[in-house]
Structure formats: C-alpha cells, structure tokens
Amino acid sequence: MQLDAMYQEIILDHYRNPHNKGLRDPHDGEAHHINPTCGDEVTLRVSLTPAPGGELDEKATVADVSYDSMGCSISQASTSVLTDLLIGRTVADGMQTLDAFTELMQSKGQGEPDEDVLEDAVAFAGVSQYPARIKCALLGWMAWKDAVSKSLDKEGV
Amino acid sequence: MQLDAMYQEIILDHYRNPHNKGLRDPHDGEAHHINPTCGDEVTLRVSLTPAPGGELDEKATVADVSYDSMGCSISQASTSVLTDLLIGRTVADGMQTLDAFTELMQSKGQGEPDEDVLEDAVAFAGVSQYPARIKCALLGWMAWKDAVSKSLDKEGV
Amino acid sequence: MSMRELERLDVEAVRKDFAILSRTVRDGRRLVYLDSGATSQKPRQVLDAEREFYERHNAAVHRGAHQLAEEATDAYEAARETIANFIGASSGEVVFTKNATEAVNLVAYAMSNAATAEPALSRFQVGPGDEIVVTEMEHHANLVPWQQLCQRTGATLRWFPVTEDGRLDLTDIGELVNERTRVVAFAHQSNVLGTVNPVQTITARAREVGALVVLDACQSVPHMPVDVGELDVDFLAFSGHKMLGPNGIGVLWSRRELLEAMPPFITGGSMIGVVHMDRSTWAEPPQRFEAGVPMAPQAVGLAAACDYLTSIGMDRVADHEHRLTEYALDKVGSIEGVRIVGPTETVDRGGAVSFVVDDIHPHDLGQVLDDRGVEVRVGHHCAWPMHRKLGIVATTRASFYLYNSFEDVDALAEAIRDAQKFFGTRP
Amino acid sequence: MSMRELERLDVEAVRKDFAILSRTVRDGRRLVYLDSGATSQKPRQVLDAEREFYERHNAAVHRGAHQLAEEATDAYEAARETIANFIGASSGEVVFTKNATEAVNLVAYAMSNAATAEPALSRFQVGPGDEIVVTEMEHHANLVPWQQLCQRTGATLRWFPVTEDGRLDLTDIGELVNERTRVVAFAHQSNVLGTVNPVQTITARAREVGALVVLDACQSVPHMPVDVGELDVDFLAFSGHKMLGPNGIGVLWSRRELLEAMPPFITGGSMIGVVHMDRSTWAEPPQRFEAGVPMAPQAVGLAAACDYLTSIGMDRVADHEHRLTEYALDKVGSIEGVRIVGPTETVDRGGAVSFVVDDIHPHDLGQVLDDRGVEVRVGHHCAWPMHRKLGIVATTRASFYLYNSFEDVDALAEAIRDAQKFFGTRP
Ligand SMILES: Cc1ncc(COP(=O)(O)O)c(C=O)c1O
Ligand SMILES: Cc1ncc(COP(=O)(O)O)c(C=O)c1O
C-alpha cells in the first residue's frame, strides 16, 4: 500500500508530538503563511545570533525557531522536523537545506535525498508523489524563509 | 443548381432596375437600418395619407415609400418589391404583408407563400434556405416597420 | 410525486455511458467518484455530440454565410434553445459564458459599467450609500465579484449569517434587505452544506425594495428540476461542466427585458451594432454579451447533456440523489467520531455531504480515501468565510450525481473507518 | 532559411488528419475551406487528446487532492508548458482565457480596476489626459475594449491611420505616441489585409515614452513562428480555435513581472489568496487571472495543436501559406474586374486575401462561391472602421492554412469567374 510510503512512522511521530511548537520570544522575524486551497496556517518566528563580530547576515546562527500552526499531518510534521534541522545551524546552511528539501518535494517520487543534509526530512520523499500535498510539506519551510528574510532585512534598514 | 432557386429572374430584375428608389419628400417617418454583419444600409421614408376623417393610424394609406440603400441583390430587390407591394395599401394591410413575408423568410425553404398577398415577393422563398441571407431580405422591411411606427407615433404626440 | 412511485433510475445502465467510471485508480481500485460538486463526468453522448460538431459542421458561428457557417450557427442556436427549455426559459434569455464565475462577473461588471454610462442605465447603477446583500455561505464565485463591485463603486456589502446547523439566518431580513439594497445575490443550493435556500422568501423581500435578485444555480440546475418561470429571480447562473456538459461553457439567464437594458461586459466582435473608431453601439441580447468567436462545440455538448438529463428525467435524478443523500447522512453520520457539517435531514437539502472526522485533518482523510479509490474533495471548497464562521478550517465533502450507487456510499463509509484505523483515532 | 530549401509541406498527408475536409457541401461539391482566418479546422490528434482527457483524467483542476484531480492538474499545467514553449515563453507567463477577445478585455479591465485601487498600481492606471493608441485596421476585439476603457476612465483614444495600400501610416508616430500615451495596442497581422505590421518600430517608440504594448497575435501565432522573447511587447493575445485548437480557449501572455503587479479581472474561486466576507487577496499569476473551474480539456487540446504544428514546423507552415498567398494574389488578382484589398505583394504579408469584384456585392459573390463549395467569408470581418476608411462596405476574404492546396486557389478563381458569369458582369 502506498499510504505507508507517505505516512512514514517518523512523520506520524512528529505529527503526534511536534517539536519546538509554541511561539516564543525574543524573535527577529515572524511570518504568517496560509495554504489557499485548504486554509491551513502557520505563524513562524526566527531568532538569530550574529556570527562573532558580524551582523545578522548569512553567517548568523539560527538560535530558535518557534511556531504555531493548524493543519494536516504533513504540514505539522514537516514544520516540526524543520525546527530540529535548522536550530543551531547558520542561515546559509538552512537555506541549503531548504533548497534540498524543495528539490526533494519536486522530484515526483524519483528523488534520492541526501540523508546527511535532510536527516529526518528524508521521510517526506513519499509526499512528492502527491502533487496536491507538496504545498502542505512546504508550508512551514516557506514561512521560515520569509521570517529569516525579514530578520535580515530589519538589520539592513 | 440551387442558385437559380434563390436568384430568381424577378429578384435580379428588381436588383438591376430598382423601383421607387431615391429619397422623396414629403414624408412622415424615416428609418435608417444597418445589417451589422456586413454593413449594408437602408434609409427609408414613409408618407401616409389618413383615412377620410381619420388620423394617422392603422387605416391610413401608404402614399409613398422612398429609400436610399447600399447592399446586396437580395436586400436591394426586396426593398424594391416592398415599395411595389405597399404603396397604395393601408398600414394594416402592409403590416399583414410584412408578417407574411417574415413568416416566409423563416420557413427554411418549406413555406408555401400566398401569392395573392405577397405577389412578386414570393420569389424570395428560396432565400429562406440560407439563414445568413434572411437578414438581407428583411432589411428594408424592418426599416419600413420602423418608419411607419415613427409616423404613427408622431401623430400620437 | 404522483401515487405511482417514480420509477427508479437504473444506475448500472447510466454508468455504462461514462467511460471514465470503469477505470481504476491507485493500484487497481475501483473508481468511486464522489466529487461531482466540483465537476461532473461526461457521458459519451455529450462527447460524441461535440466531436460530431467538430468533424462535420465546424465554423465560426454568426460570422459566415457559407454552408458550414450556417450549419454551425444552426447547431449553436438550437443548443441555446435546448438549454433554455431545460430551465423553462426562452432562448433569447440565455447568454453563454465560459463558466458560472464569468456569468456572475458579467452582471457585476455590467453594473459598474452602468455607473460610468448614460443615466438611462440608472437601474443598474450602484454607488456610495447603496447596498449589496450576499450570504455567508456563498461560493467565492458569488462573493468576490460583489466585493469587487463594491470596491469599484463605493457601495457597501452586507450578508445573511449562517446558523450553526447550516441554514441561512433570515431573522433580520427586513433590516438587511432595505430600500438601499440594489442586489441580493445568493446560492440556490450550498456547494458545501447541501442546504437549499428559501428562494421565495428572499425574493419576495427583494421585490418589496426593488432590488435585483441574482441566483447562483450551480448546484441546483444539475441536480433538480429548475424552472425560471417559477423562481421569479432576475439572474440565474450555472456551469455546464457540473451537469454532464463540457468544460468552458456556462450560462447566464435573465429576463429579456433586463438583458435588453443592460450594458455589455466583454466587448469585441459579434456583439456590436455599428463600430466607428471612437464609439460603438451594441447588438441585441444575447449576442451583446457574447463577444468573440463563441464556444459553439461546447454549447452543442451542453445541449446533449440537457437531452441526456431530460431523457432520464430531472425528477428521477433528484429522487436518486435524495435517496443517496439520506443513506449517506445515516451511514457516514453514524460513524463514531464523524460530524456532518450542514443539515442532517434531507428536508430542503441536496446531495453535498460535508463532514469532519475527529483528530484527522481533511487532507489526511482525503489521502486515505483516495488510496481506497474514493475521490472526495477536501478543503474549504471555495467557501472560506463560511468555514471560518463555523469554526472549521476545512471539511471533507462527498457529492453525488446520477451515476453514483449505494455501494459508492458504502465504500465511502468503509474508507472513513479505514482512515480512523490508519491514524489510530478509533480501534 | 538555410541553403537547403525547406522541405515542402505534404498537404495531402495533412488533409487526412482533418475529417471535415473530406465531407462535401451543396449537392456533393468538394469542400474548399478558405475561412481559417475566422476559425481553423481541427486534426483528429487534437480531438483525441481532448477526448482522452475527458475519458481518463477528468476532474476539477487545482481544487482536488485525489488521483483524478492530480492527473487533471498535471495535464492542465503540462499543456500550459507546451503552449508557453510554442511562443518561447515560460509557463508562469501564460494565462488561459476563453478567447483572444477575453484576453484583450482582461488587460483593459485590469487597467480600469487599477484606477479605483491602491496607488501601488499606478503603472496600470489611466485617466483624463492619458492616451491609448490603436490602429485603424484593428479587429473590433482590439478596438472596442479600448474605447470602453476610455469611456470608463476618461482617457482619450487615438489611432494610426491606414494607407490606401493597406499599410499603417507611421508618419506621425512621434506625435501620436507621446508622453501621454499609456498603451499602444495593435495587430501583429491584419485579419483582412494580411498586412504584417512593423512591431519593432512601434514598440521602440512605445518604450521611449513608457507605454505598455499590447499585441493582437490572433493572426500571427497560428501562421508563423512567434517568439515573445524577440518581440519585446508587454502583452500578447491569441485564440486556440484559429490554430487547430478547440474553441473556448485563448491565451494572454505577459511578462511575469507585469502579471505579478497587475490586479485581477474576473474574480471567484481558485484565484484568491485569502477570502473574508468583506475583502480578499489574490493568488499569484497565472491563477490570479483564471477564476472558476478552467477549460482544462481545451488547454490539453490546444497543447496537442501546438505539438501538431511543431511537428510540421512553423517555418514550413509559414512557407506553405506564403506560396499559396503568392499564387492567390496572382490568380485572383489577375481576374478582370477583381481588385485585391491590401498589399498585392507578399512582403510583410500573411495569407488573408481580401478583394472586391466589380458590380457584385460580396454577399452575392459569397453565395455563388458557396454553391461551388468554396467557403470564404464576406462582410467587414469585424474591421468595420477600416472598411469605412477604405471606402468599401464589405469585402470577400479567402484565408489559408496548412491544409489548403493550390487546387483550392484554382477553385476559388474559377468560382469567382462563375459568379461574374452568373450575374452577367463579365462574359
Ligand atoms: C486579428 C484578430 N483579433 C482578434 C480576434 C478575436 O478572436 P476571438 O474571436 O477568438 O476572440 C480575431 C478573430 O476573430 C482576429 O482575427
Ligand atoms: C455554488 C457554486 N457557485 C459557483 C461555482 C463556480 O462555478 P465555476 O467554477 O464553474 O465558474 C461553483 C463551483 O465551483 C459552485 O459550487
């Protein structure tokens, strides 16, 4: 049955017990994203620590990612996995991970995810076979990208 | 060949030598009609004589129909035939003839025109097989109807 | 219904006309298509009619004088006549659009066009101080165009609320529809709740204040006998693709007298009277509202769909769906952890059955159903404000049509229980 | 073209794909279809693709999560990609409309909608003092919508005149297109005269003054290679039904950046971001401009048409039509009493050949031609102001496509001579 390929245990675990959920302060940027086809929502905050002697740029470290959300197992789990993956990494690393995850999602089930980069997120490979669900898997990630760019912007002004 | 059924000699005669053509005065009503699919035009005037002791109503006599027009053989000939048929008749008679002619045009080649009423206009029976040409045959007739109703209206005011 | 009970619809015979229904999905599962509220499947009679048009009579209608153009024009206008008859109208009152959405926009744009035009069009003009009334259960197609009309003209949008059990709350109708109201626009039948709205009550009030009534009949014309003569509304909009017809064609019906007075929406060829470089005049309706080369093959296909439905009988279609809905409300509604959203009884209710399942998001539910071959729709079904009002993000909707059987409902119920097992929300 | 001459198109092979071409008209005459400028015939590959969609994958696109909806959405978006490739665009720049007329109206209405919206949309706003420039040879579809935009906003319409020999008179371009000009809209190729207009000259001037350029490509995209990358226009509109595709689908192409900035036209489902009762936000393009259930089967059919044309090669199609046109200009133009309306040489000229015959009204001429099986169009061809300018009420137009042969031209010439005999205007 294909369902099992999609709903891997890892996904259901994250769904039932989401990591890092809840909105926290301080934060440098916040983004609110909605999936217009189903109304699912996520509000996500990013807190960054500048690299020693640096500014809030690509080299900054993601100190925290916190979020509040409402949605299906795929969107919930992928946001939870995201926090595990990105907290403690640099913004540049995070963007690379985002790219790898986006690529996996667009692979129509043919992707060969790099487990070193994506860790638990490789579990979402099965989702890429269901085009209507890709948006679910990307919801939190898009919000993260947006929140980070707002954090960097703020510094820029 | 079906063409001969459509372009009866009578029609071609009227086309080459239209009767009563040219705009004349006095007139009681004038109408300008255009066929929007080909741009053909007719300007048609009606002059009425009230029935003895009466007003310009249904019983009035069509004293003159004059017109200026630009168009195909069918529209030219049918306007010419119209003048022959209606000049000298009462408005009520004219309206009846118009109805008979309209009915013939909508008969899709199945009509059995009443020669007593339609006289030369029976020659247009073949046109009813060509839906795109019905508007041509009716152009002058619609202008006549319009011009008459303007004449009567005027009296009414 | 007469004494003699209506002869039942022969679902198996009907299904044979729909090639797609014999295909399988997801690893060989029987296709259980329960998404006709979104779009219906098409019988071969419709596809054949469209193809026959293309292969025998195709030409630009109302533009040519040659034989093909004559035949194409005849076919197009005969289709209009058939479709008009289907809703008890005359053909001069039927305007073809690309879908119901365009039909509603046509009215809304004609009204804002009237606002910048001659005073003779004042009956269509709206502006600051004027009000437009919709309902909280509208499909976006009958909501957003009115928001935009208000935005363009300065009019105010107001709406009937929806009650917890999925009916319109008409308590304040006297105040809501008042002498400032210019338009009352609402759905004949909700695409989510299945609710059939009380047309007569609303129309009667609209008439008292002289407002125009726009009825979104997308979910009624395909599913029940509809006669515009009985409805007493001013405009009626529906889509061909939801009633066995092709995509790309919709209908706006209106009273002849209104169409004659109304300014055009989309402008271009075939809708004109006379064109000069700096000004134009308009053709009579329906042509006035059909700019450009129209979708004649689709009109022919839609007429074939009407013929198909008529040959079965709309009474019979409605009766069949009624029984399916009753069965589904019972079967699905009695599953533990399932809550029907919308009326739970079949009074004034059509065959859209929406529900939520405890602790399973509709997307996840839909995924399991799909895995079992059961094709339903999940989300807000283009009725986002209504979901918000009911405090639900999204629902799962099963919607029926004449080709659905009782086994389809059984498959739905079983798949819901499978999903509960899969996600461990029920033993 | 390279040294090696382009391999000629095999007309007989092509004709086999078009079932309608083997039918007869009027008492068994061979059908000589010379009205492709109005609408083209469709090869079975197109009809098959559309039918296959209906019979295998039909569902509402972009609205469902089940397998059919996925397949339908994939097919729809793959079609968009194919059609985008056909004109050298990327798929995010291709908006589906019901026909080219809607595409032009979309731009014109988006502009008047911008006029009542946020200042951020100022690049699309027009009002009193602003000017919109068209040409005297426009099809009503690219004229009336601009008249109406001016009527709604108070802007002024101006136009390039047409010369006696059927070319645009660009003498006053510097004055006509000036710093007040917001839009320049014109036909790539005239549907009556066949004239191919100098896009680059006009666009260059429009760029100098910052005006938007709208190109009506209805008669170019079907007949010659068109690459939006080379054209440097802002909007391009064409219809599927004129390029072997189904009715009911047209295309508006625009640069992504413009589409992203532009407000919507028709509003409703599937084009929204978030909907509240009193306000909405919009989806990204192209969805923003495609409200309602779209014409997915027609998009699939149009993509099949593009594939068909690509497999033959648009160079080859253009070359074939070029030779037919040359032959027709000679054959028809040399009949005594016949005058070609439009360029009499094939330089910058496509395959619409319009003409007048002394002392025979086009309606009467068309009737005789039709009697001989020769299907041409008569009238003003939705370019009434241009006819008025040239002092002609109506013309007769023969227009060619890849399935026309030299014998078709011979049949045309012979039928014209028959008409002259029939009406006694020539011995
Ligand atoms: C040059 C030109 N522009 C616009 C149109 C309008 O196309 P449609 O009627 O398909 O919208 C046509 C064809 O009718 C045309 O030839
Ligand atoms: C109630 C209702 N109104 C309007 C629409 C819009 O119809 P379409 O998308 O065919 O324009 C739909 C279907 O989507 C509907 O269910």
Q: How far is CA C322 from CA C331, C401, C407, C414, in A?
A: 14, 10, 15, 21
pLDDT score recorded for residue A154: 60
Q: Which of C97, C102, C139 best tests ligand 2's pocket when mutated (most atoms within 8 Å of CB)?
A: C139
Q: Indicate whether residue C408 lines ligand 2 (CB < 6 A).
A: no
Q: How does pLDDT run across D200-215, given as a tens digit for each residue? A: 999 999 999 999 999 9
Collect all residues of chain D within an 8 Å Cβ-Cβ radius of residue C408.
none
Q: How much distance in Å is there from the Cα of C27 to the middle of ligand 1?
A: 46
pLDDT score recorded for residue C280: 97
Q: How does pLDDT run across B82-118, given as a tens digit for each residue? A: 999 999 999 999 999 999 999 999 998 888 899 999 9
Q: How confident is the model at residue B153 (pLDDT cuts 50, 70, 90)?
A: low
pLDDT score recorded for residue C426: 85
Q: How much distance in Å is there from the Cα of C81 to the middle of ligand 2?
A: 23
Identify the residue whose C-alpha is closest to ligand 1 atom 14: D38
Please give the residue that has the higher pLDDT: either B3 or C193: C193
Amino acid sitting at position D239: S
Average pLDDT, chain B: 92
pLDDT score recorded for residue D64: 77
Q: How much distance in Å is there from the Cα of C379 to the middle of ligand 2?
A: 15
* Mean pLDDT to the nearest integer, C129-142: 98
Amino acid sitting at position D334: S
Question: C85: which residues sit within 8 A by CB, 6+ positions away?
Answer: C306
Domain A2-152 = CATH 3.40.50.300: no
Q: How confident is the model at residue A1 (pLDDT cuts 50, 70, 90)?
A: low
Judge residue D75's burial from the number of C-beta atoms within 10 Å of its C-beta, 0-12 exposed, 13-18 middle, 19 or more buried. Answer: buried
Residue position matching structure tokens 């395959």? D351
**Complex-level ipTM:** 0.95
Collect all residues of chain B within an 8 Å Cβ-Cβ radius of residue C64.
132
Is D153:D115 a contact under the CB 8 Å cutoff? yes
- Eight-class DSSP state of D321: H
* Mean pLDDT to the nearest integer, D156-160: 98
Q: Name the residue of chain D whose CA is nearest to B134's CA.
A: D363
Using alpha carbons, select from D290, D292, D272, D267 the residue that is nearest to residue C146.
D267
Average pLDDT, chain C: 96
Q: Indicate whether residue C195 lines ligand 2 (CB < 6 A).
A: no
Side-chain-side CA neighbours of residue A44 (13 Å) = 30
- Which residues of C participate in catalysis according to the annotation? 382
Q: Which two tokens stand for residue C379?
A: 């989300």
pLDDT score recorded for residue C1: 42
Report the alpha-carbon distance of residue C361 to residue C393 in Å, rounded: 9
Q: How does pLDDT run across D238-272, given as a tens digit for each residue? A: 999 999 999 999 999 999 999 999 999 999 999 99
Q: Indicate whether residue D189 lines ligand 1 (CB < 6 A).
A: no
Residue position matching structure tokens 């019972």? C330
Q: Indicate whether residue C187 lines ligand 2 (CB < 6 A).
A: yes
Q: Indicate whether residue D193 lines ligand 1 (CB < 6 A).
A: no
B neighbour chains, 3+ CB pairs within 8 Å: C, D
Using alpha carbons, select from A116, A61, A64, A51 the residue that is nearest to residue A89.
A61
- Eight-class DSSP state of C116: T
Q: How does pLDDT run across C43-75, given as a tens digit for each residue? A: 999 999 999 999 999 999 987 789 999 999 999
Q: How does pLDDT run across C368-397, given as a tens digit for each residue? A: 999 999 999 999 999 999 999 999 999 999
DSSP code per residue over B115-133: HHHHGGGGGGGGGGG-HHH
Secondary structure (3-state) at C40? coil
Collect all residues of chain D within an 8 Å Cβ-Cβ radius of residue A34.
273-274
Closest ligand 2 atom to C190 CA: 1
| B21-41 exposure pattern, b = at least 16 Cβ within 10 A, e = fewer | eeeeeebbbbbebbbbbbbbb
Is C408:C401 a contact under the CB 8 Å cutoff? no
Amino acid sitting at position A32: H
Give the rounded percent of residues in chain B with a pLDDT score beyond 90: 79
pLDDT score recorded for residue D120: 75
pLDDT score recorded for residue D3: 42
Question: D383: which residues sit within 8 A by CB, 6+ positions away?
Answer: D137, D138, D139, D140, D190, D191, D192
pLDDT at C5 over 70: no
Q: How does pLDDT run across A32-90, given as a tens digit for each residue? A: 999 988 889 999 999 999 998 888 899 999 999 999 999 999 999 999 999 999 999 99
Starting from the edge strand earliest in sequence, which strands make up the sheet with A41-49, in order? Answer: A29-34, A41-49, A61-70
Is C407:C389 a contact under the CB 8 Å cutoff? no
8 Å CB contact of A40 and C378: no
Residue position matching structure tokens 């690459």? D227
pLDDT score recorded for residue D122: 85
Please give the residue that has the higher pLDDT: either A151 or D119: A151
Side-chain-side CA neighbours of residue A125 (13 Å) = 13
Collect all residues of chain A within an 8 Å Cβ-Cβ radius of residue D69.
132
Q: Which of D61, D293, D295, D298 best tests ligand 2's pocket when mutated (most atoms within 8 Å of CB)?
A: D293
Nearest to A72 among C361, C371, C422 (CB): C361
Q: How much distance in Å is there from the Cα of C100 to the middle of ligand 2?
A: 6
pLDDT score recorded for residue B123: 94
Nearest to C66 among D35, D98, D159 (CB): D35
Question: C300: which residues sit within 8 A by CB, 6+ positions away?
Answer: C49, C50, C52, C53, C75, C76, C79
Is D281:D307 a contact under the CB 8 Å cutoff? no
Q: Which two tokens stand for residue D380?
A: 């003003």
Report the alpha-carbon distance of residue B84 to residue C51 in Å, rounded: 49
* Mean pLDDT to the nearest integer, C116-123: 77
Which residues are paired to A62 by β-bridges?
A: A48
pLDDT score recorded for residue B157: 40
Q: How does pLDDT run across A92-141, given as a tens digit for each residue? A: 999 999 999 999 999 988 888 999 999 999 999 999 999 889 999 999 99
Q: Which ligand is nearest to the CA of C103?
A: 2
Q: Indicate whether residue D325 lines ligand 1 (CB < 6 A).
A: no
| C146-162 exposure pattern, b = at least 16 Cβ within 10 A, e = fewer | bbbbbbbbebbbbbbeb
Q: Indicate whether residue D223 lines ligand 1 (CB < 6 A).
A: no
pLDDT at D117 over 90: no
Secondary structure (3-state) at D117? coil
DSSP-derived pairing of the beta strands A29-34 and D338-341: unpaired
Q: How confident is the model at residue B156 (pLDDT cuts 50, 70, 90)?
A: very low
Q: Which two tokens stand for residue C59?
A: 């030409």
8 Å CB contact of A3 and C422: yes
Side-chain-side CA neighbours of residue C211 (13 Å) = 27
Question: D281: which residues sit within 8 A by CB, 6+ positions away?
Answer: D272, D273, D274
* Mean pLDDT to the nearest integer, C185-208: 98
Question: Checking phi first, is residue C282 left (phi over 0); if not, alpha (psi -120 to 50) or beta?
Answer: beta
pLDDT score recorded for residue D95: 98
Secondary structure (3-state) at C91? helix
Q: How does pLDDT run across D394-412, given as a tens digit for each residue? A: 999 999 999 999 999 999 9
The answer to whether C418 contacts chain A (CB < 8 Å) is no
Angle at C383 between CA C378 and CA C385, to 5 degrees: 120
pLDDT score recorded for residue B1: 53
Which residues are paired to C252 by β-bridges?
A: C95, C237
Q: What phi and psi, each to the nearest 5 degrees, are found at residue D223?
A: -120, -10
Nearest to D379 among B1, B2, B39 (CB): B39
The count of other CB atoms within 10 Å of the CB of residue C115 is 19
Q: How confident is the model at residue B5 (pLDDT cuts 50, 70, 90)?
A: confident
- Eight-class DSSP state of A22: B
Judge residue C210's burial from the number of C-beta atoms within 10 Å of its C-beta, 0-12 exposed, 13-18 middle, 19 or more buried. Answer: exposed
Q: Indicate whether residue D236 lines ligand 1 (CB < 6 A).
A: no
* Mean pLDDT to the nearest integer, C108-125: 86
Q: How far is D307 from chain B (nearest CA, A)?
A: 35
8 Å CB contact of D65 and A133: yes
Q: Indicate whether residue D320 lines ligand 1 (CB < 6 A).
A: no
Report the alpha-carbon distance of residue B130 to residue B134 in Å, rounded: 7
Is C210:D260 a contact under the CB 8 Å cutoff? no
Give domain limits for chain A: 2-152
Nearest to A36 among D64, D70, D283 (CB): D283
Report the alpha-carbon distance of residue D388 to residue C88 in Å, rounded: 43
Among D27, D144, D363, most B C-beta atoms within 10 A, so best to mutate, is D363
Using alpha carbons, select from B111, B141, B142, B114 the residue that is nearest to residue B129.
B111
8 Å CB contact of A37 and D69: no
pLDDT score recorded for residue C2: 45
Is D264:D288 a contact under the CB 8 Å cutoff? yes
DSSP code per residue over D185-231: EEESB-TTT-BBP-HHHHHHHHHHHT-EEEEE-TTTTTTS---HHHH
Report the alpha-carbon distance of residue D188 to residue D221 in Å, rounded: 9
Q: How much distance in Å is there from the Cα of D392 to the middle of ligand 1?
A: 21
Give the rounded percent of residues in chain D with a pLDDT score beyond 70: 98
Q: How confident is the model at residue C351 (pLDDT cuts 50, 70, 90)?
A: very high
* Mean pLDDT to the nearest integer, D150-176: 97
DSSP code per residue over D332-400: HHTSTTEEEES-SS-TTB-SEEEEEETTB-HHHHHHHHHHTTEE-EEE-TT-HHHHHHTT-S-EEEEE-
Using alpha carbons, select from C98, C81, C99, C101 the residue that is nearest to residue C90.
C81
pLDDT score recorded for residue C65: 82
Q: Which of C24-38, D57-71, D372-386 has the lowest mean pLDDT?
A: D57-71
Q: Which of D107, D140, D218 best tests ligand 1's pocket when mutated (most atoms within 8 Å of CB)?
A: D218
Collect all residues of chain D within an 8 Å Cβ-Cβ radius of residue A74.
none
Q: How much distance in Å is there from the Cα of D381 to the middle of ligand 1?
A: 10
Where are the strands (E) in C255-409, listed by range? Answer: 272-275, 280-282, 338-341, 352-357, 374-375, 377-379, 395-399
